Amino acid sequence: MEDKDLEQQTQQPEPVKYATPMQRLWAWVGVVYMVILVLLSTYALSHGAYLRGIGGMMLSPALCGLGASTILRYRQGKGRGGLLPCVAIAGAAFLLALAGLIKGVCAIWVQL
């Protein structure tokens, strides 16, 4: 019994493995989705009905994550095609996210 305790004390602790920037990015996207879902369920409980027409708003965090992932991959040297496809994909993702947010805010505004 004592041998196991002594053995555990003499072992070196495992080195800390930090998250990569890509993992951090998608973790923040997950946090945004958790906040959105909490707010939506709170609204539904307080008003007795769910919000309608917010699909674009729900898609916006994933689109922002896609655009940011494209930029991160290009900066790390893993992106294929060079700068032009990176700018095109990231720009399209951010524009679609903005359009979804505008559409979602308008849908919420009409329902209030």
Amino acid at 13: P
Q: What is the pLDDT of residues 36-48, one digit of tens each?
A: 999 999 999 999 8
List the beta strands (DSSP E) in the chain: none
| Dihedral in degrees, nearest 10, Cα atoms 30, 32, 38, 40 | -120
Residues contacting residue 72 through CB under 8 Å, at least 6 positions apart:
21, 22, 25
Average pLDDT over residues 108-112: 84
Residue 1, pLDDT > 80, answer: no
Distance, CA of 16 to CA of 20 (rounded, Å) = 12
Other C-beta atoms within 10 Å of 4: how many?
8
Distance, CA of 61 to CA of 6 (rounded, Å) = 49
Of the chain, the percentage scoring pLDDT greater than 70 comes to 91
Q: Global pTM?
A: 0.80
Q: Residue 89 corresponds to which tokens in the numbers above?
A: 């994909």
